[in-house]
Structure 1
Amino acid sequence: MTQLRKQYLRALTQFFENGSSGSHHPATSLGTMLQTVEPEQIVLLHEQSIHTITASVEPEEALRYYRLSLLFLMELLAHYRFKFQHVPNQERVLEELRDTLVQTHSSFQAVASKYENVLQHMDCGIMLFNSEGFISFVNVLMGRFLGVPRKSLIGLDMRALASSSELSRTFRKLIVKLHREMILYRLRYQEVIDENGRHYLVTATYGEELDGDILISVKDVTEFKKIEQSAYQNDKLAMLGKIAAAIAHEIRNPLTSIRGFIQLLLPELTRVGKEEYARIVIEEIDRANHIIYEFLNSSKPSTPDKQQVKLDHLLAEVRLLFESEAIMKGCDIELAHISPALVVCVDVKQMKQVLLNIIRNSLEAISGVARKERGMIRITAAEHHAEVIICIQDNGPGMDYHTQSKLFDPFFTTKLEGTGLGLAVSYRIIRNHGGHIRVDSEVGQGTRFKITLPLC
């Protein structure tokens, strides 16, 4: 039996090397030796041989060997049967059977390759754990998500995956969390956020249809989340509009009347030495009116009255407005050279409001913390395709991801006396101009606002 096993292994190896051109070899070299062997023993011999050959090859190559071995075994058993039965035109029938097997095997390979190619290039990462808990398949995108070669993942179980030194610490902690909630507690869906703020939807599929296997799929839904947040932002702004309209209607008119009566009483209050009371009341009424005005602007800024304006002049004017305040707060405002030919179509008043909001926030952030270096706000602008990009960057304390995600929400503020409406208004103004605004920031690394506007 040992000699037969060696002969079988040699024949199978040669078949793999020569392909279908050597498919008659097993029948001729093994025919005599197999005449006294039961078919079940031949199948067992085949399994032992293919296991020996694939033990030291890559997973993709092992899969190819298993496919070819099916053709080898079918041809061998067909020839083995003909050895014990008299069949007219045996050689012709055997050749026809062989051709049929080759065609069937080719079709199987084509279909298998097609579906494997689909899995490899899906828009979501896929990882398959077999019934014993080991990874048996990883597609291209999953390897890219994890940042490690796919080959190094095959054969790992969840414990080995979670302790792999090739994965970042964040991914290892995430895998432990997902294992607990999706594998142990059988939760089918989880949404996770990585260290860069990207959103992923993780889905686990298990059941009888997978014969005990577990399929994990991961899809990057960051762009969908941005769309969702944008819609949510618009809903909140619409709600804010209704509130603002109600406040303006119910409060503004009475405040105007009160202010008028206080002014009428001012001479009498001055006569009795109480003019300071009148001044305080008028200031408080004006402050309330200013808050109402911000509400109205945040709900629906007026349609932009666009006109052509040289961008370098506009930014120079804004810088000039903050020059003295910046000096008092120990900060420099640097305006990079901007081409005089760069012209944009904007509502000058609204665009100044946006720039003033952003620069004021930068100044307050810089002056609000103790620092060794001098504060710096740098303003740049450049043309990019059919758009102009304005960047306002500071070296302040920066923001974490949670703060950035809520920065343009109405009423969200990190200031003790802020209303949380300035950036919400700025967001709506830029949208009304057909542009968009985004922020990039890291704690301790400063903040950069990027405003993109269409050119005239």
Structure 2
Amino acid sequence: MSELRKQYLRALNQYFENGSGGSRHPAATLGTVLHEIEPEEIVLLHEQSVNMLAATAEPEEALRYYRLSFVFLMELLAHYRYEFRHVHNNEQVLEELRNQLFKTHHSFQTVAHKYENVLQHLDSGIVLFDSEGFVSFVNVTMARFLGMPRKALLGLDLPGLASHSGLSRSFRRLVVKLHREMFLYRLRYHEVIDENGRHFLITATYGEELDGDILISVKDVTEFKKIEQSAYQNDKLAMLGKIAAAIAHEIRNPLTSIRGFIQLLRPHLAQLGKDEYARIVIDEIDRANDIIYEFLNSSKPSTPNKKKIVVGDLLKEVTLLFESEAILKGCDIELDPVDPAMTICVDVKQMKQALLNIVKNSLDAVGGSDRTERGMIRISAHQQGAKAMISVQDNGTGMDFHTQSKLFDPFFTTKMEGTGLGLAVCYRIIKNHGGNIQVDSEVGDGTRFKITMPLC
């Protein structure tokens, strides 16, 4: 039997090398021996031989071996095992059988290639780990996510993938986390964020239908997260509006009364040497009123009373309002030249409030940074298609990704005495004008606010 196995291996290997047209001669070399072998033994011998050849081949080459081996076996059995005694022209029947077999095989390959192309070009990354934990299939999208060629991924296990030199450091950490949570704990769903802020939804499929294999799919859901965040932001602002409308009148009226009575009592407190107490109480009442005012503005700014204004004039006025404060904080605030023909239609009061809040945040970031270089805030504007793009850039402390993602959320603040409403008000004002606001920042590299507004 060992001699037969050697012959079978040689014939099969020759067939793989010569392709589908070279099966007649390899099969003929086995003819004298196969007549003494039962069909079940031939199938077993064939399976053992294919596995031996595939074990030493590359994954893609091994897949080709398995596909071709089916044709080899069927043609071999058709030629040398079955006898057509009742047919006068055995050669014609065998030729028809052979042609039909190749036609069926071609159809199988066409369908297989079609579905493989679908898998390769899905917008989700697909990787299949076999029962021993090695990558047996990976599509183009997954290779693009990982930044590695497909051939380099095939045959790797997760530890090998995590230690591969071609994988970025951030993805190495993600692979280690994936191994722990999805392979060890058998979690089906997991969401991760890479170093660039992209959101990925990872799904693992286990089960008997995969014969012990594990199918991992990865989908970039960054755009969906942005839509979700936008809807969440609008919901929070709507809720904030209801809260503000409900509490504003209930609190401002008693505060006004308290402030009036403190003013009346202030001379008496001054006689007792307690005038400082009255001043503190009045200051705190005024601060509470300011917070309530911000509540009212953040709930829903009044309908914009739009009029045409030159962008350069608006930015110049905002710059002048902060010049003195910038000097006190050791900061320079500069306005780049702006095209005098660039105009926008806005509610000047509301738009000025939004810009003042943004510049004030930049001034706080620059003034609060411990650095030797002088603080700088640069305001500029240029036309971008049918929109005006206004930029406020500083060289302050900057922000990490977590802070940026919550920057326009009501009540979120990084300041000790902040209310977390200033930028929420900006967001609502700009959105009500049909504009958009974005922020780009890195820790230690400053921040840039970008506002786009439709031109008149």
On whether the aligned pair clears a TM of 0.5, the verdict is yes
State the AA in 2 paired with 1:435.
Answer: G
Distance 1:295 1:106, change over 3 A: same
Partner of 2:301 in structure 1? Answer: 301
Q: How far apart are the structure 2 equivalents of 1:247 and 1:122?
A: 52
Name the aligned partner's letter for residue 289 of structure 1.
Answer: N
| Deviation sequence 1:147-175 (CA, Å, 0-9, x none) | 22221121122222232232233322322
Q: Which secondary structure does the structure 2 equivalent of 1:216 belong to?
A: strand
Superposition deviation, residue 64 in structure 1: 2.5
User: What code does the residue aligned with 2:373 have?
Assistant: E
Structure 1 residue runs of 5 or longer lacking an equivalent are none
1:226-256 Cα distance to aligned partner (Å, 9 max, x none): 2222222122212211221122221223334
- Distance in 2 (CA, whole Å) between partners of 1:87 and 1:237 is 86
Residue 212 of structure 1, CA deviation: 0.8
Q: Provide, for residues 56-79 of structure 1, a one-character-per-residue CA deviation record: whole Å limited to 9, x for no partner.
A: 654333322321221122111110
Secondary structure in structure 1 of the residue aligned to 2:380: strand
Deviations 1:122-151 (A, max 9, x none): 121111111122111111111112222221
What's the counterpart of residue 426 of structure 2? Answer: 426
Q: Is the 8 A contact 2:366 2:395 kept in 1?
A: yes
User: Which residue does the alignment assign to 1:209?
Assistant: 209
| Map of 2:410 onto structure 1 | 410
CA separation of 1:452 and 1:35: change in aligned 2, threshold 3 A: same
Alignment of 1:23-172 (within 5 A): 23-32=23-32, 34-47=34-47, 49-51=49-51, 54=54, 57-82=57-82, 87-172=87-172
Task: Give the Cα–Cα distance (whole angstroms) in 1 for the partners of residues 222 and 369 of structure 2.
Answer: 33
2:59 and 2:155 in contact (8 A); partners too: no
Q: What is the rounded CA distance, in whole Å, between the counterparts of 1:180 and 1:281 in structure 2?
A: 57
- Alpha-carbon shift at residue 359 of structure 1 (Å): 0.9
Equivalent residue for 2:444? 444
* Deviation larger for 41-50 or 390-399: 41-50
- The corresponding residue for 1:181 is 181
- CA shift, 1:215, in A, is 0.8
Q: Secondary structure at the match of 2:82?
A: helix
Partner of 1:414, secondary structure, is coil
**Segment drifting more, 171-180 vs 13-22:** 13-22
Q: Deviations over 1:369-392 (max 9, x none)?
A: 221111111222222222222221
Q: Do 2:14 and 2:26's aligned partners in 1 also have CA atoms closer than 8 Å?
A: no
Instruction: Spell out the pairing of 1:253-332 with structure 2 (5 A cutoff).
Output: 253-259=253-259, 283-332=283-332
Q: Following the alignment from structure 1 to structure 2, what is the Cα–Cα distance between the partners of residues 414 and 291?
A: 16
**Alpha-carbon distance between aligned partners in 2 of 1:110 and 1:61, rounded to the nearest angstrom:** 18
One-letter amino acid of the structure 2 residue matched with residue 304 of structure 1: P
| CA–CA separation in structure 2 for the residues paired with 1:274 and 1:136 | 82
Aligned-pair distance for 1:222?
Answer: 1.6
Q: Structure 2 counterpart of 1:246, which letter?
A: A
CA contact (8 A) 1:326 1:332 kept: yes
Letter in 1 for 2:200: Y
Q: Does 1:233 align with 2:233?
A: yes
Q: Distance in 1 between matches of 2:159 and 2:272?
A: 84
- Among the aligned pairs, what percent are the same residue? 76
Residue 347 of structure 2 aligns with which residue? 347
Q: Distance in 2 between matches of 1:18 and 1:347?
A: 78
**What are the Cα deviations for residues 24-69 of structure 1, in whole angstroms up to 9, with x where unaligned?**
4444454345434444454455445545654565433332232122
Give 1:334's aligned residue.
Answer: 334
Q: CA deviation at 1:338?
A: 2.1
Q: 1:441 & 1:34 partners in 2: Cα distance?
A: 75
CA contact (8 A) 1:336 1:378 kept: yes
Which residue matches 2:363? Answer: 363
Gaps (5+ residues) in structure 2? none
Contact 2:128 2:213 in 1 (8 A): yes
Query: Helix, strand or coil for the counterpart of 1:82?
Result: coil
Q: Distance in 1 between matches of 2:79 and 2:242?
A: 85
Q: How far 1:271 moved relative to its partner?
A: 10
Per-residue deviation, residues 388-427 of structure 1 (Å, max 9, x unmatched): 2222111111111111111111111111111111000001
User: Structure 1 CA distance, aligned partners of 2:158 and 2:271?
Assistant: 85
Q: Is the 8 A contact 2:182 2:188 kept in 1?
A: yes
Aligned-partner residue type, residue 218 of structure 1: V
TM-score of the aligned structures, taking structure 1 as reference length = 0.90
Q: What is the alpha-carbon root mean square deviation over aligned residues?
A: 2.9
The DSSP-based 3-state class of the residue aligned with 1:390 is strand
Contact 1:203–1:217 at 8 Å: present in 2 too? yes
Paired residues of 2:318 and 2:352 also in contact (CA < 8 A): yes
Residues 1:213 and 1:272: Cα distance change in structure 2 (over 3 Å): closer
Aligned to 2:397: 397
Kept in 2: contact 1:388–1:452 (CA 8 A): yes
* Distance of aligned partners of 1:262 and 1:45 in 2 relative to their CA distance in 1, 3 Å threshold: closer
Contact (CA 8 Å) 2:34, 2:81: kept in 1 or not? Answer: no
Secondary structure at 1:195 match in 2:
coil
Q: Compute the displacement of 1:300 (Å).
A: 0.5
* CA–CA distance in structure 2, aligned partners of residues 188 and 450 of structure 1: 39
What amino acid is aligned across from residue 441 of structure 1 in structure 2?
S
> Does the 8 A contact of 1:121 with 1:139 survive in 2?
yes
